[in-house]
């Protein structure tokens, strides 16, 4: 895993060049992304023997069935240890594509071409790959870094609005955990961000990628500091599952909960708390939810692999742009918080 993490941030696929001599390339993508982008990617790879596996868009494709289908396709296409996997798509494609690359013949080279905001700022960086088994998310997987990540920012223009906005929730997270100046930058440029100004989006993605690289370099296997990336996620996972909310929306509500809890513990002041709500409001990110039973959320949090024994492991804000890991949060505090946010 001692690979350097290289991210190219571009606004087309023109510089997608491969230095090594690969005998075959397997592009793993999904149906939506394939329709829009496969031609321009293939054009750049015209000197190579390329194969395409396109999955049905959505989380359900991160399954053992699709994983083994891709394997069969790779074997029948004659992929060898000198072949390359390119993932072209969002986090779903990246996670399963990375898992295939890391396990095919004990690991072959991988390039990620993330095409969602979430994938560009988060899932393509840090080497986590995986699939779901039944209801258990990402329980089968590996840590495996790509040789590089190629983020074509222009692809964000064709994303559904909801997917773009959901990704903004992860973008805001980086400011909250690492660098409050970045929140000011986001606020100052909010119109441009919402209008998908490519130059600003490039800066945004670069900043997030830099922060994520710094964090994961210190802690590749999530034993320590990497946990701060989970701000809002412990609450969020419960909401995502029961409320059928998108990941990004669940994270903004989950972060609101983490802030509420921190406010009650007097870790932060109310000015900071209201500032957070303002930022979410600009981007139309939700901070509350209805029709969900708090006990159900608690049950999911209990099962969350990040919590140990009876106390809850939570990331809470302690100052502008700073968070810490708390392992002493009680069930009562969590229930009060969930009720307050409802
Ligand atoms: P996704 O991959 O399902 O993509 C969202 C939707 O956008 C899909 O319908 C897809 O077809 C479509 N799409 C993708 N790019 C497009 C484009 N440029 N234009 C038009 N449509 C496009 O979802 P996601 O939010 O990117 O990723 C979610 C996944 O990421 C989850 O499975 C989650 O577990 C995983 N994840 C992994 C990590 C990690 O560290 N590995 C981190 C966070 C999330
Ligand atoms: Zn997330």
35 classed as catalytic: no
**Catalytic residue of the set 226, 240, 256, 313:** 226
Mean pLDDT of all residues belonging to the chain = 93
**Strands, E assignment, the chain:** 7-10, 24-30, 49-55, 84-89, 109-114, 128-133, 136-143, 148-152, 312-319, 322-329
Give tens-digit pLDDT for 250-276: 999 999 999 999 999 999 999 999 999
Q: In whole angstroms, give the CA distance from residue 294 to residue 289.
A: 11
Query: DSSP letter string over 126-187?
Result: S-EEEEEETTEEEEEEEE---SEEEEEGGGGGGS-HHHHHHHHHHHHHHHHHT-HHHHHHHH
Quote the ligand 1 centre to 116 CA distance (angstroms).
Answer: 6
Q: Let me know whether 126 and 197 are in one domain.
A: no
- The range of the structural domain enclosing residue 122 comes to 7-157
Quote the ligand 1 centre to 30 CA distance (angstroms).
Answer: 10
The pTM for the full model equals 0.95
Q: In the predicted model, is pLDDT for residue 103 greater than 80?
A: yes
Closest ligand 1 atom, CA of 32?
11
Q: How confident is the model at residue 310 (pLDDT cuts 50, 70, 90)?
A: low
Predicted pLDDT at 2: 56
Look at residue 327 and tell me if it is in a domain.
yes
Query: Among candidates 28, 132, 25, which has minimal Cα distance to 89?
Result: 28
Give tens-digit pLDDT for 151-183: 999 999 999 999 999 999 999 999 999 999 999
Closest ligand 1 atom, CA of 170?
43
Q: Let me know whether 280 and 174 are in one domain.
A: yes
Look at residue 75 and tell me if it is in a domain.
yes
Q: Let me know whether 164 and 66 are in one domain.
A: no
Look at residue 188 and tell me if it is in a domain.
yes
Give tens-digit pLDDT for 188-210: 999 999 999 999 999 999 999 99
The CATH number that applies at residue 126 is 3.40.50.1970
Instruction: Point out the domain boundary residue: 157, 178, 194.
Output: 157
The CATH number that applies at residue 184 is 1.20.1090.10
Instruction: Report the run of H or E that residue 251 belongs to, with start and end.
Output: helix 247-264
Q: How confident is the model at residue 4 (pLDDT cuts 50, 70, 90)?
A: confident
Give the torsion through C-alpha atoms of 229, 226, 180, 211, to 10 deg.
-100
> Which of 1-15, 20-34, 104-118, 119-133 has the weakest average pLDDT?
1-15
Q: Let me know whether 95 and 225 are in one domain.
A: no
Give tens-digit pLDDT for 220-243: 777 788 999 999 998 888 888 777
- Number of domains, the chain: 2
């Amino acid at each position: 895993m001692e690979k350097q993490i290289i991210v190219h941030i571009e606004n087309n696929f023109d510089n997608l060049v491969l230095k090594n001599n690969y005998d075959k390339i397997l592009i793993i993508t999904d149906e939506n992304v394939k329709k829009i982008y496969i031609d321009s990617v293939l054009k750049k790879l015209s000197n190579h023997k390329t194969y395409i596996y396109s999955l049905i868009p959505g989380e359900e494709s991160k399954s053992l069935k699709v994983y083994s289908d891709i394997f069969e396709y790779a074997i029948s296409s004659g992929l060898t240890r000198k072949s390359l996997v390119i993932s072209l798509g969002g986090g779903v494609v990246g996670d399963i594509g990375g898992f295939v690359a890391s396990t095919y013949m004990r690991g072959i080279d991988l390039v990620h071409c993330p095409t969602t905001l979430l994938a560009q700022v988060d899932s393509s960086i840090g080497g986590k790959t995986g699939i779901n088994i039944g209801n258990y998310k990402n329980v089968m997987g590996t840590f495996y870094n790509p040789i590089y990540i190629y983020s074509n920012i222009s692809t964000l223009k064709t994303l559904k609005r909801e997917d773009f906005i959901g990704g903004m929730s992860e973008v805001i997270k980086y400011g909250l955990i690492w660098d409050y100046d970045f929140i000011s930058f986001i606020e100052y440029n909010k119109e441009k961000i919402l209008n998908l100004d490519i130059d600003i989006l490039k800066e945004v993605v670069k900043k997030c990628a830099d922060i994520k690289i710094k964090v994961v370099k210190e802690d590749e296997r999530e034993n320590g500091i990497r946990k701060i990336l989970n701000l809002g996620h412990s609450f969020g996972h419960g909401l995502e599952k029961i409320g059928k909310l998108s990941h990004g929306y669940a994270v903004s509500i989950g972060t609101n909960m983490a802030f509420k809890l921190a406010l009650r513990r007097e870790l932060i002041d109310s000015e900071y708390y209201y500032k957070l709500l303002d930022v979410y409001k600009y981007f139309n990110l939700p901070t509350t939810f209805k029709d969900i039973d708090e006990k159900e959320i608690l049950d999911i949090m209990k099962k969350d692999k990040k919590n140990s024994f009876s106390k809850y492991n939570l990331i809470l804000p302690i100052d502008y742009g700073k968070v810490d890991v708390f392992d002493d949060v009680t069930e009562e505090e969590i229930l009060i918080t969930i009720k307050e946010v409802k």
